[in-house]
C-alpha cells in the first residue's frame, strides 16, 4: 500500500512541476516569435532606406508615390518613381507611410562642396525610415512595449536629375 501512495505522490509532483514550468516555456516561445517579428521589421526598414537612397543617387524627385523603375522619367512633374515611392514599396509589408520616410541632402564632411540651394554630384543623399514596432502578444507588450525602429542610408549623388 505504501508503495502505491508514493507513486501517486510522484505523479502529483510531476504535474505540479509541469504547471510551474509551462507558463515560462510559453513565454519564452512567444518571446522568440516576437523577436523574429522585430528582426523582420528591422530588415525591412533597412532595405526600405537603402532602396530610397539608391534611387536618390540618380533621381532626386522626392515625393511621388510610385516606384515603376521600368519606365524612364520623361517629365519630372509626372514621375513614375521617386525616393519616397521606392522606399514605400520596399517597406510595404510593414505598412510604412510616406510620413515615415525623410529625405535630405548635405555636403560630405570635410569638403567645400556646396549642396544648397543647388544639388551637385558628390552631395550625400540621406534617406531615413522610421517604423513603430508594436508586439502582438499582450504579455510581451507589457514587458517590452512599443519601440521605434529607424534606419538611415546615405549615398553620394551620381547624377543630378531633374
Contact 66, 82 (CB under 8 A): yes
Residue by residue, pLDDT tens for the chain (162 residues) are: 455 556 666 678 888 888 999 999 998 999 899 999 999 999 999 999 999 999 999 888 877 778 887 777 777 777 788 899 999 999 999 999 999 999 999 999 888 888 888 888 889 999 999 999 999 988 888 888 899 999 999 999 998 876
Residue count of the chain, please give it.
Answer: 162
The alpha carbon of residue 89 and the mean position of all alpha carbons in its chain are separated, in whole angstroms, by 12
- In the Cβ-directed half-sphere of 30, how many Cα atoms lie within 13 Å? 16
Cα–Cα distance measured from residue 2 to residue 13, given in angstroms and rounded to the nearest whole number:
17
Domain locations along the chain: 2-156
Quote the cell numbers at residue 14: 510531476
Q: How many CB atoms lie under 10 A from the CB of residue 29?
A: 9
What predicted TM-score, i.e. pTM, was given to this entire model? Answer: 0.82
Amino acid at each position: 500500500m505504501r508503495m502505491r501512495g508514493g507513486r501517486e505522490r510522484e505523479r502529483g509532483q510531476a504535474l505540479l512541476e509541469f504547471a510551474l514550468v509551462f507558463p515560462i516555456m510559453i513565454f519564452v516561445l512567444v518571446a522568440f516569435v516576437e523577436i523574429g517579428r522585430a528582426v523582420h521589421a528591422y530588415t525591412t526598414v533597412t532595405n526600405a532606406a537603402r532602396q530610397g537612397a539608391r534611387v536618390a543617387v540618380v533621381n532626386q524627385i522626392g515625393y511621388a508615390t510610385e516606384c515603376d523603375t521600368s519606365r524612364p522619367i520623361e517629365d519630372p512633374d509626372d514621375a513614375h518613381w521617386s525616393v519616397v515611392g521606392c522606399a514605400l514599396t520596399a517597406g510595404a509589408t510593414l505598412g510604412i507611410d510616406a510620413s515615415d520616410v525623410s529625405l535630405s541632402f548635405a555636403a560630405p564632411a570635410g569638403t567645400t562642396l556646396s549642396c544648397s540651394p543647388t544639388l551637385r554630384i558628390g552631395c550625400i543623399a540621406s534617406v531615413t525610415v522610421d517604423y513603430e514596432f508594436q508586439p502582438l502578444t499582450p504579455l510581451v507588450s507589457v514587458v517590452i512595449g512599443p519601440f521605434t525602429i529607424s534606419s538611415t542610408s546615405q549615398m553620394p549623388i551620381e547624377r543630378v536629375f531633374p
